[in-house]
Amino acid sequence: MSAERFYRLGILGDERARKSLSPRMHGHVLAKHGLQGVYVALPTPPELVGQAVAEARAMDGLNVTVPHKAAVIEFLDELAPLAQAIGAVNTIINQGGRLIGDNTDAGGFLDALAHGGFNPSGKTALVLGAGGASRALLWALKSAGCARVLLSARRDQAAQALAADFGAQALAWAAIEDACPAAELLVNATAASSPAEAPELARRILALPLPAGGLTLDINYGRADNFWKAAALARDRAFSDGLTMLALQARRSFYLWTGLDIPAGDYFEALEDYHA
């Protein structure tokens, strides 16, 4: 591959962007493939998002992470159809000075399911959590032919509104146990994954009557003591954490910026010695 072009890339978020693994992954890929460039963290407070997007016109592309995935939209020149449908942008592409917002979270999520050997077509999925990340997950599941998509969250009204946006079925937080026996796919889109973060939720999840042979996917990563994983293994289910999804959506973003189809293994390689 040519090393003549210099790629200017980065990730836009709040202070959490400083801890992102994206610079590590993309930096590894740039170096491994002889590409010149940088990928930097751009921690930005909400009131300066517009300025940060304007400054991105001097870059080739950005990832966007919490809490700015919706806030950046008004400052972009155009939205790709997928970002428009989801209502969130996690990738900005500079096309000749025009900033195009796209979304690779949905594709990365479906790639992670495939990596885990799970085909959502015709299946029942239960998604827990109604934050911004759930938008891409619900769109992906519906687009992949999932027969029944259930959404539940502590904030019942938020779950109802989000479910209505994507043709999913809202489920009361108090009733998730009733849906579990049919949940071939369980997705954690809440912020908690370790007992220390949410002891009551941990006890509840560990007791869920999940069917054997399905998949539990936690979009978080970096928890050595993960109660979603413990619950999956106790029910003879496959488990995947957010590192897989992170790597696979990063690969999709890199393709949008560069047109280069980098092997997924190169992204996993960058995370091999990651320890939270």
Average pLDDT over residues 182-204: 97
pLDDT confidence tier of residue 132, bands split at 50, 70 and 90? confident
Superfamily of domain 6-103+246-270: Leucine Dehydrogenase, chain A, domain 1 (3.40.50.10860)
Average pLDDT over residues 51-66: 96
- What single letter denotes the amino acid at residue 209? P
Stated pTM of the model: 0.95
Domain extent listing, the chain: 6-103+246-270, 107-240
pLDDT confidence tier of residue 1, bands split at 50, 70 and 90? very low
Does the pLDDT of residue 273 top 90, yes or no? Answer: no
Does the pLDDT of residue 26 top 50, yes or no? Answer: yes
107-240 matches 6-103+246-270 in CATH topology: yes
Average pLDDT over residues 190-194: 96
CATH number of the structural domain 107-240: 3.40.50.720
Average pLDDT over residues 196-225: 96
pLDDT confidence tier of residue 198, bands split at 50, 70 and 90? very high
pLDDT confidence tier of residue 180, bands split at 50, 70 and 90? very high
Instruction: Confirm whether 229 is a catalytic residue.
Output: no
* pLDDT tens-digit readout, 137-163: 999 999 999 999 999 999 999 999 999
Q: Report percent pLDDT > 90 for the chain.
A: 95
Catalytic site residue from 19, 69, 142, 229: 69
pLDDT value, residue 53: 97
